[in-house]
Amino acid sequence: MSSTKITLYELPSALPNDKPISPFSASVRCALNYKNLAFKSELVNLRNFQSHLAQLGAKPTTTFPDGTPKHTSPTIVDATTGVIISDSFAILEYLEATYPDPARPLFTAIAVDRLAQAAIIDMFMPIMMRLDVRANFNTVVEADRPTWKARYLGPRSEDKSIDDLVISKDSEEYKLLLKKGEETFGKLSGFLGKAQWFGGEKPVYIDFFVLAMVSMMRDVWRKEWEEVFRKAEEGRFVRYLEAGEEFLKFTHPISTA
């Protein structure tokens, strides 16, 4: 283990151990574990995240719909170098440049990996956002739920309960989402071919992002995972997760902001 002093700021969830579920922060955690860089996670509640990150001196990565600056998870503070950086891909680029390890490269080619990440988001997110909003909502820390509902569901959630936004599991839309999910796992399996990892014999950033996305599906949409998705491609992605659990490992911090 290195002597680095890195803090990874993540959003807690209502899962056991407050386990963060964001695939973006989980992919950074994977990279830190894989490179054996010493770090600690600090959990910051969604309702406090903007003010907390601003106090740290982190730069906003985007804006809210009204144009105000927006801080996003993950963010790291590297006390080893004095650097504060947000955005998962930018963090990985920083780690690769600052702590190079020829035996454990994080990228195949940065431009290609950036395109691959965008493609994976396009495949998974439409399914995740519609499959079961209630399941997603239930993983949010209770005190953060009003903030989450307003921020991620937007105007369509005004004057509605979460149950009003859940699609029926008997509906054609729900069945189509399950089918698209199976097809997505099929596509990923095709891209992997006979290799264990997208990086071949060793995992790379895209593996960490896929591990994080699949882990989120397993932890949030448990019914759909058990009944459908874990069986896709003859259980290949169950084995994929098992191989990557050491990288996904989360150690609970002492306190939560």
Show me where the domains of the chain are located. 6-98, 110-246
Q: Which residues of 7-20 are buried (b: 16+ CB within 10 A; e: fewer)?
A: bbbbbbbeeeebbb
Enter the CATH code of domain 110-246.
1.20.1050.10
Name the residue among 28, 37, 35, 31 with its Cα closest to residue 6.
37
Q: Checking DSSP bridges between strand 75-78 and strand 83-86, what pairing results, if any?
A: antiparallel
From its phi and psi, is residue 199 left (phi > 0), alpha (psi between -120 and 50) or beta? alpha
For residue 243, give Cα distances in angstroms to 59, 215, 219, 246.
Answer: 35, 12, 17, 7
Q: Which residues of 215-242 are buried (b: 16+ CB within 10 A; e: fewer)?
A: bbbbbbbeebbeebbbebbeebbbebbe
pLDDT for position 63: 92
Q: Checking DSSP bridges between strand 6-10 and strand 39-43, what pairing results, if any?
A: parallel
pLDDT for position 229: 97
Question: What topology does CATH give the domain 6-98?
Answer: Glutaredoxin (3.40.30)
Distance CA 119, CA 126 (A): 12
Beta bridge partners of 197: 200
The segments of the chain whose pLDDT lies below 50 read none
Distance CA 75, CA 220 (A): 23
The answer for residues whose C-beta is within 8 angstroms of residue 158's C-beta and 6 or more apart is: none
Identify the residue whose tokens are 């995972």. 225
pLDDT for position 161: 87
Gyration radius from the chain CA atoms: 18
Distance CA 213, CA 225 (A): 12
pLDDT for position 103: 94
Residues 170, 222, 26, 232: is their CA dihedral positive or negative?
negative
User: How much of the chain is in helix, strand and coil states, percent to nearest 5?
Assistant: 60, 10, 35
Q: Are 7 and 76 in contact (CB under 8 A)?
A: yes
The type of residue at 239 is: R
Angle at 223 between CA 220 and CA 224, to 5 degrees: 85
